[in-house]
Chains A and B, each alone.
Chain A
Amino acid sequence: MSDIQTSTHAQTGLLPKVGAFLRDYYIYFVLVAVVLLLSTANLDKFDLFERGNFLNKNNIINILRVSAPILVIAGAFTMLMISGYIDLSVGSAMSLSAVVYALLAINGVPFLLAFVLTVVVGIGLGAINGFLVVRLKITPVIATLITLSLYKGVALLLVEDGVSAIKSGGGLKMPGWFNGYGRSGIFLGLPAAFWVAIAVTIAFVVIQRRGVLGKHAAATGGNPTAAKLSGINTGRVVFLLYILVGVTAALAGIARSSFMSLGDPLSGDGMELTAILVVLLGGTAFSGGEGRVLRSFVGALIIMALTVGMLTLVPAYYQTLVIGAALLAAAASNHVITRKGRAE
């Protein structure tokens, strides 16, 4: 429509302020609510964790350990969605990285080199997505569906026929250091993988608040025409963000592979859904422009607390339903809170 008239009222008064406060901080209340709910629930029922409270130290360490992959991905994924793009291949890229990392390790490549090489693979996977979307101008959803299938296929092919994952056996043995990264506590009882996720999140918070990339990502998603008119190379911004998502997918793959002591070509399945879920839960608008890395991080904590905590209350087969319902609820509340979902 060519309507140029928009409301000219400046937003003053109490109600918008309450709205803004809710938009900025509701996620923390949700986290507190989820933790409170789970800690008052009766955990003896299934006895999957040590008896006691949800807020038990070991329980918390366990949740944070298994959360490392989604925590490390959330930041880059948020920035990508802020710029108005999406990456459905992130789960497959994670699986492929897990397999590559395990393959390198089992063939005697030392830790640091295996780590770096896997991250380089992640850069490559992100660059392929960036190339399809930016250069070939294939719609992001389709381009990353293509690579979802491609990366998954390569990951499956890297694992020998008849074996489900890269693991000790057949004359090869995983080196002793392999699961240290994802499991052994190095500080406060938490493993290196978790602290890497924290470091990456801090990096993205800083990039978003103080980095040129963060600002240009917001401009690209918020008003692409204005961004281009201001001389911003939006294609390069998007390309770079796809690479960053690729890198974090590789880090997530390393964390998952180390935690499970094997390179599972299906280990990242569904990660794209979890990533979208935590980003939407964190209040990032799907129309782009709006969003905060830190809120997605909290969103990831909520989802992990819920999924792990739920295991203590209901059987595991409730998980898909709860995640799906949470995705719909997050999308709907996101729509209400940001008022950005445009009925086209």
Chain B
Amino acid sequence: MMSETVPRPAPHTRRRMSDESFITLLVAGVAVGLFLFASLMVPNFFQVQNMINLVTNNWAVISLGIGVTFLLVSGNFDLSVGGIVALSGVLSVWFAQAAGDGNPLSVGLGLPYPLALACALAGAMAIGALNALFVVRFGIPSIIVTLGTMMVARGIAQVITHGSQRNTNLPPEFGYLGNLSMFGTSVKFAVVLMAVLLLVAVFIEKRMVFGRITYWIGTNPVAATLSGIDRGWHITKLYLFSSAIAGIVGILLASEFKSGYSNRGTLMEFDALVIALLGGVAIAGGFGSVIGMFFGAIILAVVTSAATGLVLSPDWQYILKAIAVFLAIVAQTWALARRNR
């Protein structure tokens, strides 16, 4: 068809690893290296159970990290997830608590359990919708919007629980989901769900059009719009998606502890952001992966649990997080600059 151009042989696809795979591999390498190093330093660290615990103890933050990673890749923050965890947990308890008279904290709406969960999830997603409204419609920077909605979500939870918690008058099945063990082992349902969410997210990211659109938007929002992508609608979906995950996490935690506690999930939004950054997700957008975020979580878990093993006070975790993120950002910038020189 393009007759005049001299046909050249199809360029042989000498496939170089993409920058993204490179960074992911780097992060995974650091995670493994840190684990081995910690095993040398900390007695009893090198144990299968410990390795499993590194993942299972962090199921909540890793799950939240999925939505946060997708949003970061699209060029947006989501700091509201911690607040949503508290809100959906409190809502699920309040909706499920039996109705009637008595102590205000013991009286709920008395909805059937499944309906209570569905409504709690809807409440969580309403916060996601609020994020989308302010970011997409009003064009307000996502960092400010989600800081605000973080407080609104937690604030609603505090109002419902009068600043503490609700844990009475619950139907017997309320604690089932959060304490359910799967496959005859001690692996909790929540951990299995995290694994499923991770797999689905990786699948969406790598294999689905939805994932591709996220990268296009994050790389060049203007070109994405001029290429026929409905940017606003896609970001709306991402916020809904992230808030839904946070809602599920909140419901599961409430079920596990059989209580709706208004301070649950405090700082989880920061941890979710931290593991994404450790995993090589760029806040400028268009770069990063869910797998990277997962290994970022492992790095953070190794560092904090090794610190605990070294009998450092738990207060060290803040400093260690700060240093880890700082080193991660400096190292990734340096590695990419070297590689693409």
Seen from chain A, the residues whose Cβ lies within 8 Å of a Cβ on chain B are 1, 86, 132, 136, 138-139, 141-142, 145-150, 152-154, 156-157, 161, 273, 276, 280, 286, 315-325, 327-328, 331-332, 335, 341-344
Contact = CB atoms under 8 A, between A and B. Distances in A.
By secondary structure, the B interface counts as helix
Contacts of A321: 151-152, 154-156, 158-159
B221 A273 contact: no
A320 B139 CA distance: 24
Contact of B144 (A153, A325, A327): A327
Task: Pick the 8 closest A-B CB pairs, nearest first.
Answer: A321-B155, A324-B151, A153-B318, A343-B139, A317-B163, A153-B319, A156-B315, A150-B322
Interface string B314-341: 0111111111011001100000000000
Interface in B217-251: 221-222
Interface of B: 77, 130, 134, 136, 138-141, 143-145, 147-156, 158-159, 161-163, 221-222, 262, 270, 273-274, 277, 283-284, 313, 315-323, 325-326, 329-330
Nearest to B321: A149
19 contacts: A86-B143, A139-B283, A142-B283, A149-B274, A149-B318, A153-B320, A161-B313, A315-B162, A323-B155, A324-B154, A325-B148, A325-B151, A328-B134, A328-B149, A328-B152, A331-B134, A332-B134, A342-B139, A343-B138
Query: Which of A136, A139, A153 gathers the greatest number of chain B CB atoms within 10 Å?
Result: A153
Contact of B138 (A136, A146, A147, A341): A341
Contact of A146 (B262, B313, B326): B326
Nearest to A136: B330
Given A136-B330, A157-B313, A344-B221, A324 B139 contact: no
Given A138-B329, A317-B163, A325 B317 contact: no
Given A142-B283, A154-B319, A273 B147 contact: yes
B273 A145 contact: yes
Contacts of B277: 142
Contact of B139 (A280, A319, A341): A341
B139 A344 contact: yes
A29 B159 CA distance: 29
Given A146-B322, A149-B319, A343-B139, A323 B151 contact: yes
A341 B143 CA distance: 13
A139 B72 CA distance: 14
A328 B316 contact: no
Nearest to A162: B313
Given A149-B321, A332-B134, A280 B155 contact: no
A320 B160 CA distance: 12
Given A147-B322, A318-B155, 17 more contacts: A138-B329, A139-B284, A141-B283, A148-B322, A149-B318, A150-B319, A153-B319, A286-B141, A317-B159, A317-B162, A320-B155, A321-B151, A328-B134, A332-B140, A335-B138, A335-B140, A341-B140
A142 to B, nearest CB: 6
A274 to B, nearest CB: 11
Contacts of A148: 322
A86 B274 CA distance: 18
B317 A153 contact: yes
A152 B325 contact: no
A151 to B, nearest CB: 8
B155 A149 contact: no
B318 A280 contact: no
B144 A156 contact: no
Contact of A327 (B151, B159, B318): B151
Contacts of A150: 318-319, 322-323
A150 B283 CA distance: 20
